[in-house]
Structure 1
Amino acid sequence: MQIEDATAADAEACAAVYAPYVRDTVITFELDPPTAQDMARRIATAQRAHAWLVARDGDHVVGYAYGGAYHARPAYRWTCEVSIYLEPGRRRSGLGRSLYTELFARLEARGYRTLVAGMTLPNPASEGLHAALGFERIGVSRSIGWKHDAWRDVAWCQRPIGRWDDDPPAEPR
């Protein structure tokens, strides 16, 4: 398995990994799968200020993870929201841990200090992965999203990266 920075050339493969989550699950609150062009824009945005990684099995993209802005207000600029998506059948293989470990290192190198993740409940696989990687649950937004004919809860968790005992850089790099 190889983990590397995503490029626009990976957009179609990332869209294919993500589409079943959009169509068939409540894991994401998107209702329509993004196109390859949409995904290319998302990858470019993430790469400018955060990071987007893909995992390859040979030439085949089997998962991806990315960081993005948590909130637009300046005081949150050292906090990232992170997400990860794997091809069906790839869970509990160590791939999620590997992708996230690489992602977190890149985000820390850019000066970020806190990671936040949200997960629609129930989602034992995601809850387990995040807990195993040191995320702490900080709350649940009850009945926050409507998908597949029901109201859905979202659990929020966070973990530190980098140091909290010094002043942060003026801006993440």
Structure 2
Amino acid sequence: MPSERAGVQVRPGVEGDLEALTAIYNHYVRETAITFDTAIFTSEERRPWLLSHPEDGPHRLMVATDAASQEILGYATSSPYRPKPAYATSVETSVYVAPDSRGGGAPGRRGTGTLLYDALFEALAAEDVHRAYAGIAQPNEASTRLHVRFGFRHVGTYHEVGRKFGRYWDVAWYEKRL
């Protein structure tokens, strides 16, 4: 179910996207505390992650591309919240936007995260999913604004739960009823 707006197309992720998706994620691993991974990945190491997000079902991978060049601008996922069976109707969502495609990036690329979440939540509407959760390493005002705009509400904060770059980071947790 591809969709397009403002020169950006959003579609389900495919195996051919793996190298670009890995490069985007590795930027956040190397440069930020947005993810608590501390070592970069090869594309082959990320393959199981990609394959765990099929085109249907509650665990999705949506990819935003430039409609003209097909350059990958970012991606959004819904993943298992926890591995135990009773959590099956809950998902954890996340968005990663290529560094040069974020809010202040190239003209026409603003709102990539919004387009990705629009497509992801539209896809999840037909699934047996009750709640979406998002953990946001603090501070991250842009991610907080995005999640609040999509109806997530703050439910608590884990203080100093992760250590990266020689310091401890808080993670604020948000939930959204689906």
TM-score by length of 2: 0.86
Query: How well do the aligned residues superpose, as a CA RMSD in angstroms?
Result: 1.2
> In structure 1, what residue type is equivalent to 2:33?
V
Q: Which moved more, 1:50-59 or 1:86-95?
A: 86-95
Deviations 1:126-162 (A, max 9, x none): 111111111000000011011000011000001011x
8 Å CA contact retained: 2:160, 2:169: yes
Cα shift at 1:74 = 1.8
Could you tell me which residue of structure 1 aligns to residue 52 of structure 2? 45
8 Å CA contact retained: 2:73, 2:112: no
The answer on 1:11 being equivalent to 2:22 is no
TM-score by length of 1: 0.89
The answer on 1:149 being equivalent to 2:134 is no
Q: 1:38 and 1:130 mapped to 2: Cα distance?
A: 29
Count of residue correspondences: 161
Report the 3-state secondary structure (helix = DSSP H, G, I; strand = E; otherwise coil) of the residue aligned with 1:46: coil
Q: 2:73 and 2:113 mapped to 1: Cα distance?
A: 10
The answer on 1:126 being equivalent to 2:139 is no
Could you tell me which residue of structure 2 aligns to residue 138 of structure 1? 155
Cα shift at 1:94 = 1.2
The answer on 1:82 being equivalent to 2:93 is yes
8 Å CA contact retained: 1:91, 1:125: no
Could you tell me which residue of structure 1 aligns to residue 112 of structure 2? 95
Could you tell me which residue of structure 2 aligns to residue 63 of structure 1? 74
Q: Which moved more, 1:65-74 or 1:87-96?
A: 87-96
Report the 3-state secondary structure (helix = DSSP H, G, I; strand = E; otherwise coil) of the residue aligned with 2:53: helix
Q: Which moved more, 1:98-107 or 1:42-51?
A: 42-51
Q: 1:32 and 1:107 mapped to 2: Cα distance?
A: 31
Could you tell me which residue of structure 2 aligns to residue 165 of structure 1? none
How many percent identity over aligned positions?
Answer: 34
Report the 3-state secondary structure (helix = DSSP H, G, I; strand = E; otherwise coil) of the residue aligned with 1:99: helix
Show structure 1 runs of 5+ residues with no match.
Answer: 162-173
Report the 3-state secondary structure (helix = DSSP H, G, I; strand = E; otherwise coil) of the residue aligned with 1:89: helix
Show structure 2 runs of 5+ residues with no match.
Answer: 1-7, 104-109
Could you tell me which residue of structure 1 aligns to residue 5 of structure 2? none
The answer on 1:117 being equivalent to 2:134 is yes
Cα shift at 1:111 = 1.6
> In structure 1, what residue type is equivalent to 2:123?
R
Deviations 1:61-115 (A, max 9, x none): 1100111100122221110000110011322311111101111121221221210
Q: 2:16 and 2:168 mapped to 1: Cα distance?
A: 36
